[in-house]
Homo-oligomer: A and B are copies of this chain.
Amino acid sequence: MGIRAQQKEKTRRALVDAAFNQLSAERSFSSLSLREVAREANIAPTSFYRHFKDMNELGLTMVDEGGLTLRQMMRKGRQRAEAGGSVIRISVDTFMEVLDSNPNVFRILLHERSGTSAAFRAAVAREIEHFISELAHYTEATAGRTPMLARAQAEALVTLVFNAGASALDMKRADRKILADQLVMQLRMVAKGAEALQHKVEHR
C-alpha cells in the first residue's frame, strides 16, 4: 500500500474513532455533527467528504464495525464455554464483559435500533439477525428443536440479553451483578419453556 493510501486510511480511522469516542450516555450518533467529528479527528470539516459521502455513511460503517466486534467477542466467549460449564451463564458473563470494555460499540447498536433512519434500523437488525440465527442453529442441533421453535427461542434469548444490556449501561458494577443473575434466570425460563413446548409437539 502506497504512502498516500496509508495516510488516507489513517485519517479514516481517526474519523471513525473520533465518532466512537464522542458517543456516551448523553450523546448519540445522530446528535454528532460533521464538524464536531472532523474537529475531534483534527481535520478540516470539508475534508470529511474525502472519506464519507455524509454522516450517514460514517454511521453505517460504525454499525457494521460494531456488530462485527460484538460477534467476535461473543464467539471467543463461546469457546470458553466449550471447556465446560453452563453455556447460558458463561455467555451472559461474556456479554457483560463486552459491555464493560466497549460500551460505545453497544450504544450505537442499541440506539440506532430504534432510531429515525430506516437504513440504520435495517443495519442493526441485520447484525442482530446474525446472533439469532447462529443461536437458532445451535439449539436446533444440540437440543433437537423444531426450526420454528428454535427460531422463536433464539429470538427471545437475544431480545432479553440485548435489553438487559441496555439497562446495564446505566448501572454500577454491583447492580449489574444482580441484573446478570436475573437475566440468567430469565434465559433459563425460556429454555425450559421451549423444552416443554417441544415435548408437547412430539407427543401427538
- Find chain B residues with CB under 8 A from A189 CB: 152-153, 156, 189-190, 193-194, 196-197
Asked if A13 lies at the interface with its beta carbon under 8 angstroms from chain B, I say no
Number of copies: 2
- Find chain B residues with CB under 8 A from A170 CB: 118, 121
Which listed residue (B25, B117, B190, B196) contacts A186, Cβ 8 A? B190
Which listed residue (B110, B118, B156) contacts A25, Cβ 8 A? B118
Asked if A160 lies at the interface with its beta carbon under 8 angstroms from chain B, I say yes
Which listed residue (B26, B111, B121) contacts A118, Cβ 8 A? B26
Range class of the A interface residue count: 35 or more
- Find chain B residues with CB under 8 A from A151 CB: 182
Q: Are B190 and A196 touching (Cβ within 8 A)?
A: no
Q: Are B155 and A186 touching (Cβ within 8 A)?
A: yes
Q: Are B114 and A152 touching (Cβ within 8 A)?
A: no
- Find chain B residues with CB under 8 A from A188 CB: 193, 197
Asked if A159 lies at the interface with its beta carbon under 8 angstroms from chain B, I say yes
Asked if A191 lies at the interface with its beta carbon under 8 angstroms from chain B, I say yes
